[in-house]
């Protein structure tokens, strides 16, 4: 599988725009292309997708982690260019999207081959668990339920070896000791501390970063 960071507070590739928010694009064998979150602005999201060669119409599945604007702001722009994608929204999602293929997620379930949602944790946010040969890689939006709680929930899908996305105010750094891939993005308050503690395991996040799993 391959994950491309499309939207982030920082930028790692020339031509892309940085903005407060998060979105990434997940591709793999035998799975429809997945867009996870949509950043804060449609115009920035679509600009970055164009620069990265990602066509909105090819997206087969859209997953929204939680209702906050910095993860949902670009959704309308994508929906205008893509009428067919299946949407996985947390049960608490703030608005209805009529005439679309919408799955409201409450409990953990499988989305497609090797891709699972943790279910909506703490009534606010879902995360993705990607099953790979190395174990489970977690893709998180803001981690409002807590990084530790998300890791515990994802353990039902296998041993978690990595995590990518926003960690918010997470500071229980020992929880990361057993991971071999840590990519703190977006709202991660203690990004510098985490990068310093785990220099071998950490990837410096930013729009344009590509992770090959």
Residues 20-79 that bind Zn ion (CB under 5 A): 68, 70
Which x/- pattern, by CB under 5 A, does the window 92-131 give for Zn ion? ----------------------------------------
Shortest spacing between CB 170 and Zn ion, in angstroms? 13
Our measurement of the distance from residue 104's CA atom to the centroid of its chain's CA atoms, rounded to an integer in Å, reads: 17
Shortest spacing between CB 199 and Zn ion, in angstroms? 25
According to DSSP, the residues that pair with 24 across neighbouring strands are: 5, 36
- Toward Zn ion, which CB reaches closer, 15 or 169? 169
According to DSSP, the residues that pair with 165 across neighbouring strands are: 140, 184
Which x/- pattern, by CB under 5 A, does the window 166-195 give for Zn ion? ---------------------x--------
- Toward Zn ion, which CB reaches closer, 114 or 191? 191
Residue-wise DSSP of 92-156: T-SS--TTS-EEEE-S-EEEETTEEE---BTTTB--EEEEETTEEEEEESS-TT-HHHHHHHHGG
Nearest to 33 by CA among 112, 98, 124, 106: 112
- For position 205 contacting Zn ion by CB under 5 A, the verdict is no
User: Could you give the CA distance from residue 164 to residue 159 in angstroms, rounded to a whole number?
Assistant: 15
Residue entry with tokens 């899908």: 157
Shortest spacing between CB 134 and Zn ion, in angstroms? 27
Residue-wise DSSP of 36-89: E---S-HHHHHHHHHHTT--GGG--EEE---S-HHHHTTHHHHHHH-SS-EEEE
Shortest spacing between CB 105 and Zn ion, in angstroms? 16
- Toward Zn ion, which CB reaches closer, 36 or 157? 36
Contact pick of 1, 40, 78, 142 for Zn ion (by CB under 5 A):
142
Stretches 45-53, 80-88, 95-103, 140-148: which one binds Zn ion (CB under 5 A)? 140-148
Residues near Zn ion (CB under 5 A) are 68, 70, 142, 187
């Amino acid at each position: 599988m391959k994950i491309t960071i499309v939207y982030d507070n920082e930028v790692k590739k020339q031509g892309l725009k940085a903005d407060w928010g998060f979105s990434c694009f997940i591709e793999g064998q035998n799975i429809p292309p997945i867009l996870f979150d949509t950043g804060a602005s449609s115009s920035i999201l679509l600009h970055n997708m164009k620069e990265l060669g990602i066509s909105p119409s090819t997206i087969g599945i859209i997953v929204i982690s939680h209702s906050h604007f910095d993860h949902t702001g670009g959704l309308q722009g994508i929906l205008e260019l893509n009428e067919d994608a299946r949407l996985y929204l947390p049960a608490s999602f703030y608005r209805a999207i009529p005439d679309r293929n919408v799955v409201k997620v409450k409990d953990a379930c499988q989305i497609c081959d090797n891709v699972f949602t943790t279910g909506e944790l703490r009534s606010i946010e879902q995360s993705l668990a990607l099953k790979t040969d190395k174990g489970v890689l977690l893709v998180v939006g803001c981690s409002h339920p807590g990084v530790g709680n998300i890791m515990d929930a994802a353990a039902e899908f296998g041993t978690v070896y990595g995590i990518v996305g926003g960690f918010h105010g997470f500071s229980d750094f020992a929880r990361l000791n057993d991971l071999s891939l840590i990519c703190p993005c977006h709202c991660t308050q203690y990004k510098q501390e985490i990068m310093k503690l785990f220099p071998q395991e950490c990837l410096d996040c930013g729009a344009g970063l590509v992770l090959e799993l």
